[in-house]
Structures are given as C-alpha cells and as structure tokens.
Amino acid sequence: MAYSESAHRLKEMINKAIEDHQITREEYDLIISIATEDGHIDPQERALLSELQDMIENRMVRMVAK
C-alpha cells in the first residue's frame, strides 16, 4: 500500500523527532495540521500519530520549549 503525500511528510517529521529525542509544541502542532489538512486521517497517518504519541508518553521523545 502506498503512503499518501501527507503521510510521507508526517513520517519525515516524526523521524526527525525520534532522532532528536525531542519535539517542540510548534512541531507537534504542525504534525497534527498535516495529518488533518485533507479532512481525514488515513490509516498510515493514524499509525504514525499513534507511534509518536506512545513515544511521548514513554518519554522516548520529550516535548520541549522552543
């Protein structure tokens, strides 16, 4: 199954957060905006968002101030 263009952009941003072990509120808001820009969240986007949320909750990725 091919990823949508927005899912690809989400994956890139989430991978950056994973590599940095941190994400700013602005980056998080942009990720949510990308996921919802076409009016729905497809299965790939949902999986990526879930993965990011799990990492934030488990403190593998920290929410930081800019």
pLDDT level of residue 1 (50, 70, 90 thresholds): low
Residue 33 sits in which domain range?
Answer: 5-64
Is the dihedral angle over the CA atoms 56, 21, 63, 38 positive or is it negative? negative
SS (H, E, C) the chain: CCCCHHHHHHHHHHHHHHHHCEEEHHHHHHHHHHHHCCCCCCHHHHHHHHHHHHHHHCCCCEEECC
Total domains in the chain come to 1
Q: In this predicted model, what pLDDT tens digit does every residue of 3-57 receive, in sequence order?
A: 678 888 889 998 999 999 999 999 999 999 998 988 888 888 899 899 999 999 9
Q: Are 19 and 56 in contact (CB under 8 A)?
A: no
